[in-house]
Amino acid sequence: MSAKEYLEKFGVEGAVAKAVTQVLKDRPADPIAAIGQILLNSTVAKTIGVGSNFPMDTIVHCGFAGNTPDAPKPMSHFLSGIKALVVSLPGAFTPT
């Protein structure tokens, strides 16, 4: 299993992104400890398939590199109360 597959299997990138976003919002005195605590308290869904509920607390960045004033936002901002097909593509400057 590659490093990328390993991280994807356990949802590491999404969990870390969520923790960092929360720390940026809260601005605690010790951001490293806060990230650690958020990760310890988190639960990450292992798989998403047809008919699954999408994890609404997943943080997404909109616009070019998240440079819009109101980015990032949780998926609940986009998906609450609707049925949707979610398609994701890697960004131009991300390792694929």
* Residue 10 pLDDT class (50, 70, 90 cuts): confident
Give me the number of domains the chain comprises: 1
Q: For residue 15, tell me if it sits in a domain.
A: yes
**Other C-beta atoms lying within 10 Å of the C-beta of residue 18:** 22
Whether residue 92 lies inside any domain: the answer is no
Q: Which domain holds residue 36?
A: 3-79
CA distance 35 to 41: 10
pLDDT digits (tens, 9 = 90+) for 16-27: 888 888 899 999
Look at residue 41 and tell me if it is in a domain. yes
Answer yes or no: are the C-beta atoms of 13 and 44 closer than 8 Å: no
Q: Where are the beta strands (DSSP E) in the chain?
A: 59-60, 73-74
Domain contains 70? yes
Please indicate, yes or no, if residue 91 is contained in any of the structural domains.
Answer: no
Tell me: pLDDT of 58 over 50: yes
